[in-house]
Amino acid sequence: MTPRTPEGPRRRPPPVGRRSIDDTRALLIATGAEMVATESAVTVGRIDLIDVCRRAGLTSAGSAYKIWDTQEDYRVDLLRHVLSRFIPGRHAIDLVTAAVAEDPATLPPLSELIRTATGTTPADGDDGARHFSVYVGLWLASADDEDLARELHDSDVAVIDAYARLYDAVADAYGLEWKPPFDARFFATMVAALTDGLTVRLGAHGDVAGRTLARRVDDGPGEPTEWSLLACAVDAFARAFSRPREATADPDALDPDADGG
Amino acid sequence: MLLEAGAALLAERGVSVTLDRISLIDVCRRAGLKTAGSAYKIWPNQDAYRAELLHALVVSSSASFAAKGQVDGILGGGRRPSLDELIRVVAADNAELNRAIYPTYLVVWLAQRSDAELAATFADAEDAWLDTLVALFTAVVDAYDLEFVEPFDATILGVTLSALVEGLTIRQRTTPEFVAESLPLPTGADGTVEDWTPFAIGVKAIFDAYTRPRP
């Protein structure tokens, strides 16, 4: 009997001689991604297709060159694959999307939505930290690698745009608007920057960056709830960069008297 | 001199050279020394040199020390600016400085994740960095008669703001179109518009949320 997985019957890797182009492509991309993750992400710019083929158990790179015309073509494909795994906070996107799709009457307080949606980031477990290390390696290597810089840029633009659409939907659901000159992309960029930065901090001061704080907020439950550092800062940004939609008479983006100065 | 030469070598080769492959002989050559003999009178072996180099790199790649000096100078001067103005000016300078030195920091950050000895050196330098930040924010809060809103404190503020400037430095390179050099906000006298960097805007938002006037 064929063992089954939740996705369907488990397939044995086809023998080398009968491997389809799609199988070879998937094998070489997966092998390259593993090399990037486990060896040194900073060497991705010099990843060698022959090495990848050898690591994948292929006797020559001939079949690889039936798929990619050049090593550069392979590298771009590999980078796209690696970067596609850096879509952060899937949990947060799903949770927020579900919340704002509900009946407005049942929406949780905004602070509660922020607290729960950001609760699992940036830590996201060891896997998240490992992925971020790869991202940092790619970021460093992109300083003198135009192809890599372009791929990183396109990947990050896609992520920011996806989050900006989500934050616009949240603002709509809660009857908020962005204080000029801010917008959803600015907010998304600030949150993404904080997420990245706190992940770096976790690798330097995990005892502080990984801490949760018992905090009571105006629009939250009466009892203190546990907040990550990221959630606290995102809550501060939400309050500073947005306002109730009807309050359009106030032109100030930030209150200049907030500190009394 | 040899620490500077090592740092220069690392910067020149960028991330193509991993830290554990920095050779003291290369460093001596770079520094204009004919042999490595004098270096080995200072460090018993290459690992000892590497540990000191990395410590120097971590310390020098922390913009918090420069910010502390700048804030001390401003607070100790004659006219004390508003907190907004302090944040706007110091945060802008800090973000600029961080942009220049952050790649070096990240090289060390990455390397120490898989090197226990380096991790210990790194942790010591990070502790010194955090102490500086805590002293900085404690001085600012005191100078402006503020207190922290519970449960925040100078440590939380320091780590959060450091994370923000680091993340913005990363984003500034990958998606510069989303990290504007500055945004105009009506924070000047009589509502005049002033330029705020994204980092300064974030610092103000977090400062406003985490502190309040002392009763």
Determine, for residues A254 and B183 on separate chains, whether the beta-carbon distance falls below 8 Å. Answer: no
Shortest distance, CA B34 to any CA of chain A (angstroms): 32
Q: Which residue has the higher pLDDT, A93 or B140?
A: B140
pLDDT confidence of A259, banded at 50, 70, 90?
very low
CA nearest neighbour of A28 among A43, A14, A49, A59: A49
* Least confident piece of the model among A167-176, B62-71, B142-151: B62-71
Tell me which chain B residue has its CA closest to the CA of residue A158.
Answer: B175
Total number of residues shown for chain A: 261
Residues 39-98 of A with CB under 8 A from B: 40, 42
CB of B209 closer than 8 Å to CB of A240: yes
Q: What is the pLDDT averaged over residues A90-105?
A: 76
Helix, strand, coil share of chain B (percent; to 5): 75, 5, 20
Smallest Cα distance from B85 to chain A, Å: 9
pLDDT averaged over every residue in chain B: 82
Residues found in chain B = 215
Query: How near does any CA of chain B get to the CA of A205, in Å?
Result: 8
Out of B113, B156, B191, closest to residue A133 by CB: B113
Collapse the DSSP code of B196 into the 3-class scheme (helix H, G, I; strand E, B; otherwise coil) and give the result: strand
Task: Record the pTM.
Answer: 0.78
Q: Chain B: nearest CA to A18, how far in angstroms?
A: 38
C-alpha span between B28 and B161 (Å, rounded): 38
Instruction: Give the angle subtended at the CA of B129 by the CAs of B125 and B134, to the nearest 5°.
Output: 145
By C-alpha distance, the chain B residue nearest A150 is B174
Of A11-25, A56-70, B88-102, the range with the lowest mean pLDDT is: A11-25
B205 has a pLDDT exceeding 60:
yes
Report in angstroms the alpha-carbon separations of A239 from A68, A91, A187, A219, B83.
50, 23, 11, 12, 19
Tell me the shortest Cα–Cα distance from A73 to chain B, in angstroms.
21
How large is the average pLDDT for residues A96-117?
84
How high is the mean pLDDT of chain A? 78
% of chain A exceeding 90 in pLDDT: 25
pLDDT of B30 over the 50 cut = yes
Q: How many helices (H) and strands (E) does chain B have?
A: 9, 4
Q: What is the pLDDT of residue B20?
A: 60
ipTM: 0.81
Q: Do the chains contact at A133 and B83, CB–CB below 8 Å?
A: no
The pair of structure tokens assigned to A252 is 């100030």
* Least confident interval from A27-31, B64-68, B208-212: B64-68
Preceding omega of A256 cis (within 30 degrees of 0): no
Q: How far is B31 from chain A (nearest CA, A)?
A: 25
Rounded average pLDDT over B100-112: 78
pLDDT at B198 exceeding the cut of 70:
yes
Cα dist from A122 to A29, A91, A152, B2, B167, whole Å: 27, 11, 19, 38, 12
- CA dist A57 → A24, A31, A60, A196 (Å): 11, 10, 9, 36
Please state the three-class secondary structure of chain A as a single string: CCCEECCEECCCCCCHHHCCHHHHHHHHHHHHHHHHHHCCHHHHHHCCHHHHHHHCCCCCCCCHHHCCCCHHHHHHHHHHHHHHCCCCCHHHHHHHHHHHHCCHHHCCCHHHHHHHHCCCCCCCHHHHHHHHHHHHHHHHHHHHCHHHHHHHHHHHHHHHHHHHHHHHHHHHHCCEEECCCCCHHHHHHHHHHHHHHHHHHHCCCHHHHCCEEEECCCCCCCCCEEEEHHHHHHHHHHHHHEEECCCCCCCCCCCCCCCCC
Which of A143, A189, A196 has the CB atom closest to B178's CB atom? A189
Q: What is the C-alpha separation between A150 and A71, in angstroms, rounded?
A: 17
- Residue B58's CB is within 10 A of a number of other CB atoms, namely 24
Distance CA B68, CA A36 (A): 38
Does B202 sit within 8 Å of A251, measured CB to CB? no
Partners of residue B198 in chain A, C-beta under 8 Å: 186, 189-190
pLDDT value at position A5?
Answer: 36
- Is residue B27 pLDDT above 60, yes or no? yes
Chain B residue numbers with beta carbons less than 8 Å from the beta carbon of A194 are 160, 163-164, 167, 202
State the DSSP code for B82. Answer: P
Q: Degrees (nearest 5) of the Cα angle A47, A150, A183?
A: 140
**A162 close contact with B: CB closer than 8 A:** no
Per CB-CB distance under 8 Å, the chain A contacts of B146 are 259
- Maximum distance among all alpha carbons in chain B? 66
- Is the per-residue pLDDT at A261 higher than 70? no
The answer to whether A22 touches A64, Cβ cutoff 8 Å, is: no
B-chain CB neighbours of A235 within 8 Å are 209
Report how far residue A93's alpha carbon sits from residue A88's, in angstroms, rounded to the nearest whole number.
9
- Chain A residues with CB under 8 Å of B137 CB are none
In single-letter form, the type of residue at position A73 comes to: D
Contacts of A211 in chain B (CB under 8 A): 156
Q: Which residues lie across from A213 on neighbouring strands?
A: A227
pLDDT of residue B15: 41
pLDDT in the model for residue B115: 72
Closest CA to A92 of A191, A177, A209, A201: A191
From the candidates B121, B159, B211, which should be mutated to test the interface with A, based on the most A CB atoms within 10 A? B159
Is the CB of B186 less than 8 angstroms away from the CB of A144? no
A-B contacts (CB, under 8 Å): 190
Which residues 125-144 in chain A show a CB within 8 A of chain B? 133, 136-137, 139-144
- Which chain A residue has the Cα nearest residue B210? A236
Q: Is the pLDDT of residue A28 over 50?
A: yes
Smallest CA-to-CA distance from A189 within A218, A230, A161 is with A161
Give residue for tokens 């990290």. B179
Contact indicator for B121, B58 with CB cutoff of 8 Å: yes
| Tokens at B135, concatenated | 């002293």
